[in-house]
Homo-oligomer: A and B are copies of this chain.
Amino acid sequence: MRNEIRKDYLLDKWVIIAVERAKRPTDFKTEVQEINKAVNCPFCAGNENMTPPARMLYIPVDDKKIIIDRDRNSEKRRSDWIIRVVPNLFPALQPSEKAEVFSNYVSKISGIGDHEVIIESPDHHEQIQVMSDDQVKLVFRAYRDRFRALTSYDFVKFVSIFRNYGKKAGASLSHPHSQIIATPIVPVSFFQEIKRLNFDGKRCKYDEIIEHERKSERFILERENVIAFSPFASTTPFEVWIFVKRHVHNILELSDEERDDLAIATRDILSAISKILNDPPYNYAIWQTVNEKEYHMHIRIFPRLTIYAGFEYNTNIAINPVPPEHAAKYIRETLYEICKITNDN
Contacts and interface: CB of A to CB of B under 8 A. Distances in A.
A111 B179 contact: no
A4 B170 contact: no
A214 interface: no
Given A3-B93, A160-B311, A170-B310, A317 B107 contact: no
24 contacts: A4-B109, A5-B109, A5-B111, A5-B184, A6-B107, A6-B108, A9-B106, A14-B185, A14-B187, A18-B91, A20-B91, A20-B94, A92-B319, A105-B212, A160-B311, A162-B311, A169-B307, A169-B310, A170-B310, A179-B311, A283-B310, A287-B314, A300-B313, A300-B314
A295 interface: no
How many copies of this chain does the complex contain?
2
* A4, A170, A314, most chain B CB atoms within 10 A: A314
Interface size range of chain A in the complex = 35 or more
Contact of A4 (B2, B108, B286): B108
Interface of A: 2-7, 9, 12-14, 16-18, 20-21, 90-94, 105-111, 158, 160, 162-164, 168-171, 179, 181, 183-185, 187-189, 208-209, 212, 232-233, 283-287, 300, 302, 307-311, 313-317, 319
A155 to B, nearest CB: 12
A188 B12 CA distance: 7
Given A5-B111, A187-B317, 14 more contacts: A4-B110, A20-B90, A105-B208, A105-B212, A106-B232, A106-B233, A160-B311, A162-B310, A163-B310, A170-B307, A170-B310, A285-B311, A285-B314, A300-B314
B5 A187 contact: no
Nearest to A111: B3
A111 B16 contact: yes
Nearest to A170: B309
Contacts of A160: 310-311, 314-315
A7 B108 contact: yes
Report which residue of A94, A183, A311, A316 has the largest number of chain B beta carbons within 10 angstroms of its beta carbon: A311
A243 to B, nearest CB: 16
Nearest to A15: B108
Given A285-B313, A313-B285, A316-B187, A18 B92 contact: yes
